[in-house]
Amino acid sequence: MRNLKLTIEYDGTNYHGWQIQPNGVTVQETIEMVLATLTRQRPKVICAGRTDAGVHAEGQAAHFKTETTMDSERLQKGMNALLPDDIVITCVEEVADDFHARYSARGKTYRYVILNRAYPSVFQRNRCWQITFPLDLGAMREGAAHLLGRHDFSSFQASDCCAKHPRREVRDMVIEEEGPWIRIYVTADAFLKHMVRNMVGTLVDVGRGKTGAAAIPAMLAARDRTRSGGTAPAHGLFLAAVIYR
């Protein structure tokens, strides 16, 4: 039995997230069906981090076990020929039997994209959050600094998050500006459900002057979701990379 690792790009606009669901098309289901056609097996494809409906990925990682003898290059070409245009396999590689896309990961980087201007983008409308009011990036960076380090992120997790514990280590948080585009990069050892979107929503509140950056430590200490900001829209979020040793 071989263990194969996939690196995947996808536009999440047309999918109900990664994980198979009974009421909508998902990325996992689409990939598994293609593999079933190519290998005459239906392997379970396990990803590094399940993305929500509308969330995109540039560097999603996944693995599956298979008995196919098809080499990696041929399998990659076959998958891309059969997959819809909004899912692309950028790499197929054979890995050690004990490799696990989720449990072997040492961290992940997400990028959140904001378009900060009065009018939307035709081409990027499903890949950014348009905000029409001015944002103070200096204040947002000050707020982001309070989120660095290992904390209990209960105040920034979804109410239905099923993680075993809420402690995570945010290793880096960078806010870049290029014209009207604002990109927020967050790297952590792991993430809670909606954690990035809730942090971004809170930083936007800081940027618009609704909340002070100095209030963020108290939000963390409260361990109460109602104390932090709103949830940023899913379509501005990208899983940029999964970090392995």
Q: Show which residues are catalytic.
A: 52
- Rounded Cα–Cα distance for residues 239 and 109 (Å): 6
> Could you tell me which residues come within 8 angstroms of residue 50 by beta carbon, excluding any fewer than 6 positions away?
17, 18, 19
> Counting Cβ atoms within 10 Å, is residue 194 exposed (0-12), middle (13-18) or buried (19+)?
buried
- Rounded Cα–Cα distance for residues 58 and 49 (Å): 12
- Rounded Cα–Cα distance for residues 71 and 56 (Å): 28
Q: Angle CA(134)–CA(196)–CA(19) in degrees, nearest 5?
A: 130
Exposed e or buried b for every residue in 136-150, given b needs 16+ CB within 10 A? ebebbbbbbebbeee
SS (H, E, C) 224-244: CHHHCCCCCCHHHEEEEEEEC
Q: SS3 breakdown of the chain: % helix, strand, coil, rounded to 5?
A: 30, 30, 40
